[in-house]
Chain A
Amino acid sequence: MNNTLILILVVGTALAFDFTNGFHDTANSVAPTIATGALKPRTAVAFSAALNIVGAFLSLKVAATIASSIVDQTSVTLAIVFAGLAGAIAWNITTWFFGLPSSSSHALIGGVVGAMFASVGSAGVLWHGIAAKVFVPGIIAPLVALLVAGLATIVSRVATSRVDDGARTIGMRVGQIGASGLQSIAHGTNDAQKTMGVITLALVANGTLAADAAVPTWVIWTCAIAMALGTFIGGWRIIRTMGHGLTHIDPTQGFAAQMSSSVVLLTSSHLGLPLSTTYVATGSVVGTGIATRGRKVHWNVAGRVVAAWLITLPAAGLVGAAMFGVESLFSGSVGEVVVAILLVGYASAIFLRSRRQVVDHTNVNEPWKSELDEPVATAVAA
């Protein structure tokens, strides 16, 4: 009974993480599309959500591992996975509240590493793997994207310099929709599969599935739908930061940024150096702002985003470790229930707090210098 309850909690929490992954990372694929008016806000998130589902079914090469090469796989238990998921969800909700685009994958890694550290100590954490798979790609991703998007913006402006503004705007908006679709499919394939992997791992650990069993169809469907729901609800605060907070984006910049992000992500993945979607998308937007004459990049906002990146791993790790500590205080599955209650309480408190200063599809495209200006500072001060 205890094992079944823990399994239910792990599956439910994994789907909750998948949901937060959807609404947190929507901005990566739709923020420029919305900012330039290529698609209306609701249409953009619905389009992205539908393609998330398509992506989730495109490839099913799920590895039943979590944080592979980051933690000692033989020491991973359901309690660690559960605490790690709780840490990742808490960090995703926190960064969403502050409108900061941070990596959901790194949050999950941080949560699991923290829980592992609390469980078996430093021996269970593969520090070299963290450096090679988290820190190094974290530095490389935005810089490569910034360079590609910057060059692409300049070349695109030169190539269309004789085209009248109306035709160029329409053409670039069409290109943006295509690039946004490609990113949404890739997101569905990559990130929904991570949750499928977590749930499959839990089912195998519980003895519900054989180690070599295929991923059950219900797991694929629930993961795809949870992510799509999150995407459809839209992380408007982050979309606003990505679309307006970093720099002003016109359709040429939007297309250059989104196509550059797609190419960098697909190329790096193909060559065996997968990069964070969030870091690449953010780097592309900043790159296109730098490459546009007279365009101002809001470096104070960019600085806060980078600060969030730097503390994602330790912050999610601390919560993951704390949650594992709470689990350990109780016998049986009581600890997991307490953690679940704490998580729901925290999520509810953050949601209620966010209602004081609502950012949604109706005001996501308000000019950055408005009453919604600097949502982070306003939220903190209020």
Chain B
Amino acid sequence: MTTPSTVTTATPLIDWHVLCQVLLASVSIGVALVTLFSLGVASLSVSRSTDGTTLTRSAGQFGVLVASILVTVVIAWGFYIITQKG
């Protein structure tokens, strides 16, 4: 019965390295993704604006396209992680 506890005590209670990685990755990816999507919403609004110039509407459409692609890539990454874990 001593074996399991002997084995597990070798593992640190808090893996600070992983914790810092989780914190940094979560903050950077989370904030970046929400920002991208929000900019996509803002770009969509600009692209549909009736009082804007052709240039601003085109820029808005480009913004929507870029935001959509990036958000899709991140969601695909999410699916990848879901299917890899367990």
In the complex, whether B11 has a CB less than 8 A from a CB of chain A is: yes
Query: Would you give the 0/1 interface string for A249-275, flagging 1 where the beta carbon is closer than 8 Å to chain B?
Result: 000000110011011101111111110
Residue from A58, A73, A129, A167 in contact with B83 in the complex, judged by beta carbons closer than 8 Å: A58
Query: Would you give the 0/1 interface string for A155-169, flagging 1 where the beta carbon is closer than 8 Å to chain B?
Result: 110011011100110
Chain B: minimal CB distance from A237 (Å): 28
In the complex, whether A10 has a CB less than 8 A from a CB of chain B is: no
Chain-B contact segment, one of A89-97, A181-189, A239-247, A361-369? A181-189
Query: Would you give the 0/1 interface string for A117-129, flagging 1 where the beta carbon is closer than 8 Å to chain B?
Result: 0000001101111
Interface of B is mostly: helix
In the complex, whether A171 has a CB less than 8 A from a CB of chain B is: yes
Do A193 and B86 form a contact, CB below 8 Å, given A128-B9, A160-B38, A167-B44? yes
Inter-chain contact A140/B8, CB cutoff 8 Å: no
Chain A: minimal CB distance from B34 (Å): 4
Residue from B4, B37, B84 in contact with A59 in the complex, judged by beta carbons closer than 8 Å: B84
Chain-B contact segment, one of A29-37, A146-154, A294-302, A317-325? A146-154
In the complex, whether A72 has a CB less than 8 A from a CB of chain B is: yes
Taking CB atoms, residues of chain A closer than 8 Å to B19 are: 140, 273
Inter-chain contact A259/B86, CB cutoff 8 Å: no
Residue from A72, A159, A259 in contact with B1 in the complex, judged by beta carbons closer than 8 Å: A72
Q: Within the assembled complex, what's the spacing in Å between the Cα atoms of A58 and B84?
A: 9
The contact size tier of chain B is: 35 or more
In the complex, whether A178 has a CB less than 8 A from a CB of chain B is: yes
Within residues 1 to 59 of chain B, which ones have a CB less than 8 A from any CB in chain A? 1, 4-5, 8-9, 11-15, 18-19, 21-23, 25-27, 29-31, 33-35, 37-42, 44-45, 48
In the complex, whether A172 has a CB less than 8 A from a CB of chain B is: yes
Q: Which residues of A contact B (CB under 8 A)?
A: 55, 58-62, 69, 72-73, 123-124, 126-129, 131-132, 136, 140, 144, 147-149, 151-152, 155-156, 159-160, 162-164, 167-168, 171-172, 175, 178, 182, 185-186, 189-190, 193, 255-256, 259-260, 262-264, 266-274
Q: Within the assembled complex, what's the spacing in Å between the Cα atoms of A250 and B53?
A: 32
Inter-chain contact B23/A132, CB cutoff 8 Å: no
